[in-house]
Amino acid sequence: MMTSRKVAIIAICLVLLSSIMAGCIEKETQEPATTPLMPEITPAAKEAKKTLVVGEMWSIRGVDPAKRGSFVKEKAMIVDTLVEANPDFTLRPGLAESWEQISDVQWKFHLRKGVKFHDGTELTADTVKWSIERALKINPPVKAVTMIKSIEVVDKNTLLFTTEEPYAAFPASLEYPNLGIVSPTSGTDDKGIIVKPIGTGPFKFESFDVATGTLYLLRNDDYWGKKPKLEKVIIKEIPDPASRAMSVEKGEVDFTCDVPYGDIERLKTTPGLKVELHPTARVYQLTFGNLSGTPYSDERVRKAISYAIDREVISERTLHGCAEPAIGPVIPTIAWANKGLKGYSYDPEKARDLLAEAGWRDVDGDGVLEKGGEEFSVTLYTYPQRPGLQPMAEAIQAMLKDVGIKVEVRVMDWSAIKEHMTNKDMKLSAYALAMVPDPDYYLRRTYHSEGSYNLWGYNNPEMDSLLEEGLKTFDPDKRQEIYDRVQEIALDEVPLIHVAYYKVAVVMRDHVKGFVFNPIAHDYMLNPEMYIGKSND
């Protein structure tokens, strides 16, 4: 007698069968993507030729340039900073036309003349001073990054900055996105947070719909730089990577980035789309809990771990091309990178030899090395925000197992890691090392014995003196020499291991032209030269 449960079980089998069949069919047919639908949802449908719709990867939680700098400056293009940076990390004038150093701690900046804010008011030294002081006040890290002690208005177009100590990276620090110059006439809420930013950038703030996380921007016809070709830009928040991929495929957005790894190969071959993978200044690094009293105090052990990692397969297969094997600490396209460095190849044999040299042997034959009765068994911590970290951690776990190091992977929130991690453990992070486009920013914080990022106690007097010198050396050639040597030592002594450079996948419809990738960006940066042209098919 057919009970309903029996029917249910038969139904499951049918589902199983049909899903397997569906999968087979899926594999065989290469479905062409649907033709791009003109977005009917957005009001800009009619002006599609002049409107760029962007799918943003983070939740758009605000538009205050001092708090949401990387969004407001780099993506929304509403504000400019005094100093801008080129894709190779050299500096170029922004709102400041030129600057000169007066003394060790004093700098004079000359503002561009005739620049107007979006509401027509003039950009003056007073407004710049107001804007920067506001950022210093409401965003404490800004002070640490710029080391500004005081700002003085010399005349309508000139400012005098005094830093706390001699700081060669000062001009570069003014490129920091949270220092976007905004007008005091900007609309604020009752807590003083800016909700209607008025800047000087190529695009003006029109409105922001909190519910759907959509920002509407209009072209600034009085932009001081090259006038943008686009009339409107709409930035929609789509924090879910799969939705972003679908949106750009269906034409609901024209431009997005960081789509799921599983979609990249497919999107590359989809007609109507172009996919660009760009290395950024963000690097995947493996750091150690502490360099004293742990296996990592021996340089050979650190080198061994570096040799044990197959950076190629991780970058190409595990992360689907969204990473590039790291050579030195910074991507070689940066102006001040040491171009003569040779990275660590994948050499598990060498790794095993080095470990053996350092006294690690597998005494009991269980596949795990021991030394002095202690097993080489550690925990690798990482956090969930970047999709590449987890698979990379698991891959590294497998590779280290291969050379005799037992690794347990634990994924948890960044702040929780501090509570759990011991000196013996390792951490994998995706670190943005060019918040400020200057070698001092990353290299000193990381490699100086008192560097704020040097949490593992690396101490090399030669390194320290080099970095201190670099801080106050103003001659560019001398600086390059110093930092070349710094990077050389860094690679040789590997107090932390650089696994791969983070590559951002930028996906756009092929009618989007004029995009220039700038690795300075936190994730990606739109540029005013973009426009909508003819589709390639």
Partner 1 sequence: MAYWFKRKTILTDKLPLHFLKQKSVAIGSMVILGLAFLAIFAPHLAPYDPVEVDLYNNLLPPSWEHPFGTDNLGRDVLTRVIYATKTDILASLFIVGISVSIGLFIGIFAGYYGGIIDKVLVGMMDTFLALPEIILALVLVGALGPGIFNAALALSLFGWVKYARVSRGLTLSIKEKEFIEATKAVGFGDFYLIARHIVQNTVAPITTLAALHLGHAILSLAALGFLGLGAQPPMPEWGAMLNEGRVFLRVGWWLSVFPGLMIMITVLAFNSLGDGLRDALDPRMKEVMMK
Partner 2 sequence: MLGYIAKRTAIAVFVVFATSALTFFLLSLIPGETAVTIIQRVFVGDVTYNPSQAEIEATEQIFHLGNPLWMQYLYWLNNALHGNFGTSYISGRPVLSEILVRLPATVELAIAATILSLVVAVPLGMISAVRQNSKTDYLSMASATFFIAMPNFWLGLILILLFSLHLDLLPVAGYGGLDNLILPAITLGAGMMAVTMRLMRSSVLEVLRLDYITTARAKGMDEKRIMYRHVLKNAMIPVITVAGLQLGYLLGGTVIVETIFAWPGIGKLLIDSIDARDIPIIQGCVVFIAIMFSLLNLLVDLSYYFLDPRIKYEKV
Residue with tokens 């061994």: 304
User: Does 15 help bind partner 1 (rule: CB under 8 A)?
Assistant: yes
Binds partner 1 (CB under 8 A): choice among 172, 378, 395, 520? 395
- SS3 of 216, please? strand
Looking at the Cβ atoms of 8 and 461, the one nearer to partner 1 is 8
Looking at the Cβ atoms of 351 and 435, the one nearer to partner 1 is 351
205 touches 507 (CB < 8 A): no
Binds partner 1 (CB under 8 A): choice among 10, 14, 16, 154? 16
Burial of 459 (0-12, 13-18, 19+ CB in 10 A): middle
Using CB under 8 A, which of the segments 73-81, 114-122, 126-134, 431-439 binds partner 2? 431-439
CB count in 10 Å sphere of residue 273: 21
CA distance 510 to 232: 18
CA distance 389 to 450: 27
424 touches 289 (CB < 8 A): yes
DSSP symbols for 270-298: STTEEEEEEEEEEEEEEEES-SSSSGGGS
- SS3 of 207, please? strand
DSSP 179: G
User: Does 321 help bind partner 1 (rule: CB under 8 A)?
Assistant: no
Using CB under 8 A, which of the segments 99-107, 108-116, 271-279, 378-386 binds partner 2? 378-386
Looking at the Cβ atoms of 405 and 500, the one nearer to partner 2 is 500
Query: Which residue, among 340, 335, 325, 435, has the nearest Cα to 87 in the 3D structure?
Result: 335
User: Does 30 help bind partner 2 (rule: CB under 8 A)?
Assistant: no
Residues 230-249, interacting with partner 1 (CB under 8 A): 241-242
Q: Give me the least distance between CB of 161 and partner 2, in Å please.
A: 20
User: Does 256 help bind partner 2 (rule: CB under 8 A)?
Assistant: no
User: Does 413 help bind partner 2 (rule: CB under 8 A)?
Assistant: yes
**Taking every pair of C-alpha atoms in the chain, what is the biggest distance, in angstroms?**
96
Mark residue 498 as left, alpha or beta (left: phi above 0; alpha: psi -120 to 50; beta: remaining): beta
Looking at the Cβ atoms of 183 and 306, the one nearer to partner 1 is 306
Binds partner 2 (CB under 8 A): choice among 35, 452, 465, 535? 452
Q: Give me the least distance between CB of 435 and partner 1, in Å please.
A: 28
- SS3 of 225, please? coil
Burial of 487 (0-12, 13-18, 19+ CB in 10 A): buried
User: Does 38 help bind partner 2 (rule: CB under 8 A)?
Assistant: no
Using CB under 8 A, which of the segments 107-115, 339-347, 448-456, 489-497 binds partner 2? 448-456
Looking at the Cβ atoms of 196 and 401, the one nearer to partner 2 is 196
CA distance 445 to 431: 12
Instruction: State how far Cα 448 lies from the chain centre.
Output: 23
User: Does 261 help bind partner 2 (rule: CB under 8 A)?
Assistant: no
Q: Taking CB within 5 to 8 Å according to partner kind, which of partner 2, partner 1, none is near residue 141?
A: partner 2
Q: Taking CB within 5 to 8 Å according to partner kind, which of partner 2, partner 1, none is near residue 211?
A: partner 2
Could you give the strand order of the β-sheet that contains 96-101, starting from the edge strand earlier in sequence? 96-101, 106-111, 158-163, 148-155
Rg (Cα) of the chain, in Å, rounded? Answer: 26
Residues 115-174, interacting with partner 2 (CB under 8 A): 139-141, 144
Looking at the Cβ atoms of 15 and 37, the one nearer to partner 1 is 15
Tell me which residues touch partner 2 (CB under 8 A): 2-5, 7-8, 11-12, 19, 22, 26, 31, 34, 41, 59, 61-62, 64, 67-70, 139-141, 144, 178, 191, 193, 210-213, 238-240, 242-243, 246-247, 250, 252, 383-385, 413-416, 418-419, 429-432, 435, 445, 452-453, 455, 522
Contacting residues toward partner 1, per CB under 8 A: 1, 3-6, 8-9, 12, 15-16, 19-20, 22-23, 26-27, 241-242, 260-263, 265-266, 310, 313-314, 317-318, 384, 387, 390-391, 394-395, 397-398, 409-413, 416
